[in-house]
Structure 1
Amino acid sequence: MLRFILLTCLAVTAAIPARADDMIAVRSGRPVTETLDRLQAVVIAGGFFLVGRVRHSEAAMGVGLSLRPTELMIFGRPQGGTPIMVCNQRAGIDLPLRALAWQDEAGQVWLGMIDPQSLKPRWDLPAACDAPLAAMEAGVRRFLAEATAP
């Protein structure tokens, strides 16, 4: 059942267009998997639940393709996302949160997440969602900083 839910989440999120300027990305001094392991520890300690992790590179190898190390983590907490969905339920397509760790062509590892503030214009969210979006953005920035700290 968990596998079905994860695959459903992945199918839905794969269809969501994201612009590069919507992403908050920070450098990591650790390998991709270790970077996401650290993020996972941070979010679980913060009361979030882990939906799953997708090892894109391993999946690529499984079909005979090559992809630099790339992993996705999906996680959430209803206290943060629900107020945004109350403003516009369709914003639920962008929730729960997702984080991507990848190694670029120069060998640098990055950890990135979509900036929650980009949800406001995307879903025409009213001012009632400003505080929940600000709280989510602060959390995203804190998670990225803690997961990539030396």
Structure 2
Amino acid sequence: MAEYGQHPSSVLALKSAHDFDTTIARLKTALATAGAVVFADVDQRGAAEAAGLSLRRTRLILFGNPKAGTPIMAVNPHAAVELPLRMVVWEDNEGHTRLDYRDVSQTLGPLYGIEPEVLGPLQRMVALLQTAVQ
């Protein structure tokens, strides 16, 4: 994916086996099944077009589960800047659907001093997203 630029090692970059709309639907179903709430679904392409610009299909999805996020914010209020969780679903130049997710379980510990046992519920997110795009 070098042709699309670099990303931090904490960002999970996946290629979906499904088209754009199916990928979004599968992700939302997987999140709901896991007890997560979709707080926002931002159509970034639509926002670009409203500003007279063009952008590939791109959606930013903010999601989370207060049962997982609240203990983190209770331990360190600064960590709230990382929550809710977010992912970007976008379409590449060949029409393939991509998913980028910043695995905050990798950053909340070292950057905010959150203990591994508090991060447990967030660590399951990577497998959930990987399964949803297969």
What range is the shorter-chain TM-score in?
0.7 to 0.9
**How far is the alpha carbon of 1:30 from its aligned partner?**
2.0
Name the structure 2 match of 1:27. 15
Counterpart secondary structure, 1:75: strand
One-letter amino acid of the counterpart of residue 145, structure 1: Q
1:132 is aligned to 2:118: yes
1:70-149 alignment runs, 5 A limit: 70-116=58-104, 117-123=106-112, 125-126=113-114, 129-138=115-124, 140-149=125-134
1:60 is aligned to 2:60: no
Name the structure 2 match of 1:12. none
Name the structure 2 match of 1:7. none
Separation in 2, partners of 1:63, 1:43: 31
**How far is the alpha carbon of 1:147 from its aligned partner?**
1.5
Alpha-carbon distance change, 130 to 76 in structure 1, aligned in 2, over 3 angstroms: same
Matched-pair identity in %: 32
**How far is the alpha carbon of 1:132 from its aligned partner?**
2.5
Counterpart secondary structure, 1:65: coil
Corresponding residue pairs, total: 127
Q: Which runs of 5+ in 1 are unaligned?
A: 1-18
**How far is the alpha carbon of 1:94 from its aligned partner?**
0.9
CA RMSD of aligned residues (A): 1.7
Q: Which runs of 5+ in 2 are unaligned?
A: 1-6
CA deviation digits over 1:94-147, x for unaligned, max 9? Answer: 111111111223433211211121122222x14xx2123243122x11221222
Q: Is the 8 Å Cα contact of residues 70 and 103 (structure 1) preserved in structure 2? A: yes
Alpha-carbon distance change, 21 to 105 in structure 1, aligned in 2, over 3 angstroms: farther
Name the structure 2 match of 1:46. 34
